[in-house]
Amino acid sequence: MFANCLSHISTENGLYASLFLGGLVGSLAHCSAMCGPLVMAQIGALPDSREHRRAVMLVPYHLGRMSTYVFLAVLLHSFLNLAFLFSPLRGALSTLFLTMAALMFLINALPGLMRVFPWVVRLGLPIPLRLIQRMSRPFMMEPTGLRGYALGVLLGFMPCGLVVAALLATAAAPSALSAGGAMLVFWLGTVPVLMAIGCGAGWVKGHWALKMQTISSIVMLAGSLLLFWLAGRTIAL
């Protein structure tokens, strides 16, 4: 029993570390390109354009994203536990999901691998992008307060490969609470870059593009290897 608890702690820590690194570094290359324009569109619709106010005014949007990410992680974990409660397939699925998440992180680190695993980049949430865009359009006008929060909730369902990778990894968490916590940590990793873009610091990525790409690849590779290691541990348990 004590060994089992230690295993859970180790798995949680490894999961939290890999997802935080994935969110932090992946957001620099991935989220800045995909979500950056959405953030800048919100900035243009804000009633106060002063830079020091932008970060504060976009907080509800980021909290909305967090709510969706944590909800999806808890929902996926709970579904797997209910559907495979007494089945030995539960462990096999956890291993499979961790491996797929590791592959997606690996492809973020080494984009050339897309030619080897083309199906990985097509993974996404089964929600039509046009539906999300249509529902979120009214909230893009002055996206502050509850409107900003609702916008974040809706855009949290965007078909983002990095988010899908994180969700797949949380399926291996020892509990639904841990799965939600792991997704919360992932979200925390994505916040700094998007906040910086909201404050008008998008030039940082362009100025340090080559260095940042190299660092991103190294850290994403480390996160991928950590997820592969967790997948191997899941098989052994």
Q: How far apart are CA 228 and CA 128, in angstroms?
A: 30
Query: How far out from the chain centre does Cα 232 lie?
Result: 22
> Of 115, 116, 96, which is closest to residue 227 (Cα–Cα)?
96
Over range 155-178, report the average pLDDT. Answer: 86
Query: What is the pLDDT averaged over residues 38-64?
Result: 71
Residue keyed to tokens 């991103």: 216
* pLDDT grade for 184, boundaries at 50, 70 and 90: very high
pLDDT for 74: 95
Contacts with 81 (C-beta within 8 Å, 6 or more apart), sequence order: 90, 176
Q: What is the pLDDT of residue 131?
A: 82
Amino acid sitting at position 199: C
pLDDT: is 58 or 7 the higher one? 58
Region 136-142 average pLDDT:
81
Contact (Cβ atoms closer than 8 angstroms) between residue 4 and residue 234: no
The predicted pLDDT at position 108 comes to 72
Alpha-carbon distance of 91 to 235, in angstroms, equals 7
40: nearest Cα among 194, 206, 208, 203: 194
What pLDDT was estimated at residue 9? 44
Q: Which amino acid is at 230?
A: L
pLDDT in tens, 13-49: 778 888 888 888 777 666 555 666 677 677 766 665 5
Name the residue type at position 11: T
Q: Using alpha carbons only, how large is the chain's radius of gyration in Å?
A: 18
